[in-house]
Chains A and B, each alone.
Chain A
Amino acid sequence: MSHWHEWSPHEQKLAEAIYSALDGFTNLGAAQDPTQRRIDFTTLFRCVTHPEEPFPAALQKQLTQDPKLREDFHHLLKKCSSYHIPRAAAASSGDLTERTVDQFRIRLRPSRVESDQLYILIELPDETTDSPSTLFLYDTQGGCLKQALPAPQEREIQLLMNVDNPLVLGLKDHNTEIFLR
């Protein structure tokens, strides 16, 4: 049995390296404060790709706080979406009632029956094969809304909403981007 002081510097260095390596992951399994827990990418991906899953509140919160997460989420939305309507031109003023890009159009039509409700009409281009199932509204501050979509009828999807629904307000807002997946 040899003592520490008899070891070569390299052997001592190896002992230190082994100690450090063991130390690096020994604490795995120690419970973390769940409120401080970062959003994992599985949560991010499932939020974007599974229309039936609600938008996790923790993700909503962290998107507004974490620029890197925001960048990742935006990149993922862009990559996974079939349609994307960018922010409206700065020259536009007032609330928008229509958002268009190429042949893809979203219109807001007030209900004649209920003055505090309106219809969101999503017209899909003729060549659409796969119907989108989710609409995302994304603003520059990381605010994001997710809306599951019903099946289209003759390439048109209709939603009925209260006029003060955040989704409606977001669609009217120049600063939002729209993604359909």
Chain B
Amino acid sequence: MKIRVYIATTEGPVKIQRLAAEDPEVRSVICLNGTSEALPISPAYDAFVRKPTGIVERFVGHPVFRMDVSERITEGQSWQLGVLIAHLLKFEGKLAEKEEKPDQVIWLTGEVNQALEVKPVEHIDQKLLQSAKLFSACKQQNIPVMVVMAAANHSQLTQSGKNSFHLDQQIMGIDTVTQLTDAISLMHPTTGKTVTQVMATPSSKKGTSSTTTNPKFRKAIFATFILSVSILALSLIVTPNVSSILPHGETISTITPFKPNEVNVTNELMEVRLIELRSPAHSNCAAVRFGNVKPTLNELISGPDLFHSHEISTLCGIRLIVKQSKMPADINASVEVTHAGTNLRRTLQTSFIKKRRQGNELQWQINFDRTIRRSFTYSWNLETDSELTKDKLNRRILHSGY
């Protein structure tokens, strides 16, 4: 699911073309069309990103970004909502960039404060009017458009106004950013939890949040119900056993091996691999996360002495790969990251990339987008509704010698 973000301006919608982590030595910039022309609002963008005043760094763990936009944004603060959502989408790999074809378009305008409240802005009608071409183009291409603004702005929009903009797509008025992230299944910027629920309130219903009627969303809800019939869990537990802050030293992890009696899958049918993603020298996890540098891949080899993790500070993610010789029934995976029984997903600013299938190989990945400064335990859980798959999975692990 790729989502394109448009920032509404009085001169027309401005497409966010690219978002990439920059050298922390510099300051964030918004550039025009990939050129070196930094827009005059760049200092305000930098302040919006960088801690302590900025919001973005709090959630994505990196202080400096470069954003490329299609047109000039000259003044005001109404770009903030669009920019924040673009960052959160990018963080979860959902932002449609450059020439990527979007599955959905979000058109946003609103000011965001530190408490993530969305404040109303001016000239909504003009911004909508200037976006008529975009809306109609999306309609022609069958791309759903979500129009998002502050609840106060939304309540002032008249029905005739909506009609005149030919907005048969969703118009959403929100008071807080979380209302929107919930609606589009984004990581919750305050709790760190990914909300998969899709709101199904009809558009005629009263209230500031209105409906999505996108059929793709409905299908997703259905899928969630089917997969929720879990049967068995498989756990890999890696626990670094050293002091909580060891950013640069080598850390030997204690491995809790799988119990042999829990696994019973044949070697020929299944293969499980665990790979660490690490930031290369002179780089960081945000750069890896935003695709600016390629991660160093470090495969963890199973065995009591070999399942170890080096240097916590450079650990950017862990990838689980399950390779099947034949296409079995579907498998679902989840991961828990804990420290002393506490869920660290929010603290570590993790993002969970859902399953990717490449041929008969399934992959899941957890990303750590900020430098890890404490020990933790993670645990993968694989679930399937197929008895056959369960059996094969178990046997595969057994054969590996645990």
Query: Which partner residue on chain B sits nearest A162 by CB separation?
Result: B36
> Within A154-176, which residues are at the interface with B (CB < 8 Å)?
156, 158-162, 165
Known contacts being A150-B43, A151-B43, A165-B36, is A113 close to B27, with CB within 8 Å?
A: no
Q: Among A112, A113, A150, point to the contact of B40 (Cβ < 8 A).
A: A150
Q: Among A111, A153, A160, point to the contact of B43 (Cβ < 8 A).
A: A153
> Within B1-58, which residues are at the interface with A (CB < 8 Å)?
18, 20-23, 25-27, 29, 31, 34, 36-38, 40, 43, 46-47
Known contacts being A112-B21, A119-B26, A153-B27, is A160 close to B292, with CB within 8 Å?
A: no
Q: Is there contact, CB below 8 Å, between A160 and B31? A: yes
Closest CB in chain B relative to A177 CB, distance in Å: 24
- Residues of A that sit less than 8 Å from B by CB: 109-114, 117, 119, 121, 150-151, 153, 156, 158-162, 165
Q: Is there contact, CB below 8 Å, between B292 and A112? A: yes
CB-CB under 8 A from A161, the residues of chain B are 36
CB-CB under 8 A from A113, the residues of chain B are 18, 20-22, 66, 292
Q: How far is the CA of A22 from the CA of B31 in the complex (A)?
A: 62
Q: Is there contact, CB below 8 Å, between A121 and B25? A: yes
Closest CB in chain B relative to A157 CB, distance in Å: 10
Closest CB in chain A relative to B19 CB, distance in Å: 9
CB-CB under 8 A from A153, the residues of chain B are 27, 43, 46-47
Q: Is there contact, CB below 8 Å, between B23 and A109? A: yes
CB-CB under 8 A from B36, the residues of chain A are 114, 117, 160-162, 165
Interface size, B (range): 20 to 34
CB-CB under 8 A from B43, the residues of chain A are 150-151, 153
CB-CB under 8 A from A158, the residues of chain B are 26-27, 29, 38
Q: How far is the CA of A161 from the CA of B38 in the complex (A)?
A: 9
Main secondary structure of the interface of A (DSSP, over half): strand
Q: How far is the CA of A59 from the CA of B320 in the complex (A)?
A: 65
Q: Is there contact, CB below 8 Å, between A160 and B23? A: no
CB-CB under 8 A from A151, the residues of chain B are 43
Closest CB in chain B relative to A124 CB, distance in Å: 14
Q: Among A110, A111, A156, point to the contact of B66 (Cβ < 8 A).
A: A111
What would 15 more interface pairs be, CB under 8 Å, given A114-B36, A153-B46, A158-B27?
A110-B23, A113-B20, A113-B21, A114-B34, A114-B66, A119-B23, A119-B25, A119-B26, A150-B40, A151-B43, A153-B27, A158-B26, A158-B29, A158-B38, A160-B29
Query: Which partner residue on chain B sits nearest A158 by CB separation?
Result: B27
Question: What is the 8 Å Cβ interface bit string for chain B, positions 61-75, against chain A (1 contact, 0 not)?
Answer: 000001000000000
Q: Is there contact, CB below 8 Å, between A121 and B26? A: yes
Q: Among B23, B27, B34, point to the contact of A112 (Cβ < 8 A).
A: B23
CB-CB under 8 A from B20, the residues of chain A are 112-113
B287 within 8 A of A: yes
Known contacts being A113-B292, A151-B43, is A160 close to B25, with CB within 8 Å?
A: no
Q: Is there contact, CB below 8 Å, between A109 and B25? A: yes
Q: How far is the CA of A114 from the CA of B17 in the complex (A)?
A: 14
User: Most chain-B Cβ atoms within 10 A of its Cβ — which of A110, A112, A165?
Assistant: A112
Between-chain CB contacts (< 8 Å), 16 pairs: A113-B18, A113-B20, A113-B21, A113-B292, A114-B34, A117-B36, A119-B23, A121-B26, A153-B27, A153-B43, A153-B47, A158-B26, A158-B29, A160-B31, A162-B36, A165-B36
Question: What is the 8 Å Cβ interface bit string for chain B, positions 115-126, against chain A (1 contact, 0 not)?
Answer: 000000000000
Q: How far is the CA of A110 from the CA of B25 in the complex (A)?
A: 10
Query: Which partner residue on chain B sits nearest A153 by CB separation?
Result: B43
Q: Is there contact, CB below 8 Å, between B46 and A112? A: no
CB-CB under 8 A from B38, the residues of chain A are 158-160
> Within B268-291, which residues are at the interface with A (CB < 8 Å)?
287
CB-CB under 8 A from A162, the residues of chain B are 36
Query: Which partner residue on chain B sits nearest A117 by CB separation?
Result: B36
Q: How far is the CA of A95 from the CA of B202 in the complex (A)?
A: 63
CB-CB under 8 A from B26, the residues of chain A are 109, 111, 119, 121, 158
User: Most chain-B Cβ atoms within 10 A of its Cβ — which of A109, A112, A113, A160?
Assistant: A113
Across the A-B interface, the 7 shortest Cβ-Cβ residue pairs:
A113-B20, A119-B26, A160-B38, A113-B66, A160-B36, A117-B36, A112-B292
> Within B57-116, which residues are at the interface with A (CB < 8 Å)?
66
CB-CB under 8 A from A114, the residues of chain B are 34, 36, 66
Closest CB in chain A relative to B120 CB, distance in Å: 28
Q: How far is the CA of A112 from the CA of B20 in the complex (A)?
A: 9
CB-CB under 8 A from A110, the residues of chain B are 23
Query: Which partner residue on chain B sits nearest A118 by CB separation?
Result: B36
Closest CB in chain B relative to A51 CB, distance in Å: 14
Q: How far is the CA of A121 from the CA of B37 in the complex (A)?
A: 15
CB-CB under 8 A from A159, the residues of chain B are 38
Q: How far is the CA of A141 from the CA of B25 in the complex (A)?
A: 34
Q: How far is the CA of A141 from the CA of B80 in the complex (A)?
A: 47
Q: How far is the CA of A109 from the CA of B20 in the complex (A)?
A: 16
User: Most chain-B Cβ atoms within 10 A of its Cβ — which of A151, A158, A160?
Assistant: A160
Known contacts being A150-B40, A160-B36, is A111 close to B23, with CB within 8 Å?
A: yes
Query: Which partner residue on chain B sits nearest A114 by CB separation?
Result: B34
CB-CB under 8 A from A119, the residues of chain B are 23, 25-26
